[in-house]
Structure 1
């Protein structure tokens, strides 16, 4: 199969925080043009990306990769309208939260060839079947449909699960406990 090289592509990053910023640096190092949407424009990322608006990103990106929290503004951000704005040759990568992508609308966009494919490290309600040995009846139909598609890759949101990451989580948690006990604000707050 003939493919294209990363340096010929435009990569759109939604959420250019720590992970999105590191992603921008990697794609930039491979020669891609990187554009991003984020409410905070980080000057230190200017060598690696150019900030733009969401519509421009969706219309021009060959790869759209999502690295944003799930909140009211991002819930079902990727829906039928969003997919129609993307190139029909574009790929969606969601490594953030499952609720950012409407699974039903993604399936329709893939079936209607509105986008070329998707790589999903997370799905809505994934905890109901990824975290245990689910029976076939417990696996949602949208997951079964996506998994059967030749242009979809799904992983079980486990990229964080390494020896180093686990040690870091424990250390960060303990450091924050010490900070709170000493009347200081924790460095690694968790937001709902």
Structure 2
């Protein structure tokens, strides 16, 4: 009988991410899992909150990564003597182009809001000034009425003056003496 003193269940796996650092959308990432076990372990990858395995094998590569790939991944090492697992968080940042688009969109939205507020304030000031001018100065109709009153008064004065002159000429056939200024009648 041969006793195998070197058989054991997998130790908690060691996991790593390559490249290290921030993982940007659109890039590729490789997750690696290894464990000491005898016999050698089989590796299975699970994503948090998913029942079925995401991948199998010691190396798991995700190409063209998106935000949906972010989350916690668990590597499970298993052999005939047992199983062990380790969890690895994977955070995916927005791609550089996405950040630029988001920044530009935010800036444009801010400009539109500021322009709208400026136009609204300008419009409000114009309405205020217009209503203020209507309250403090005569309207066009009242200016016309004043002008019409002045014209009517001039006409009345002229008409009265013309009537007086006409009355004087028709009632007095006399002429004034240059020396005394009195009216003398001329015989006919």
Could you state the TM-score of these two structures normalised by the residue count of structure 1? 0.17
Could you state the TM-score of these two structures normalised by the residue count of structure 2? 0.18
- Kindly name which structure, 1 or 2, has the bigger radius of gyration based on alpha carbons: 2
RCO higher in 1 or 2 (8 Å CA, sep ≥ 6)?
2
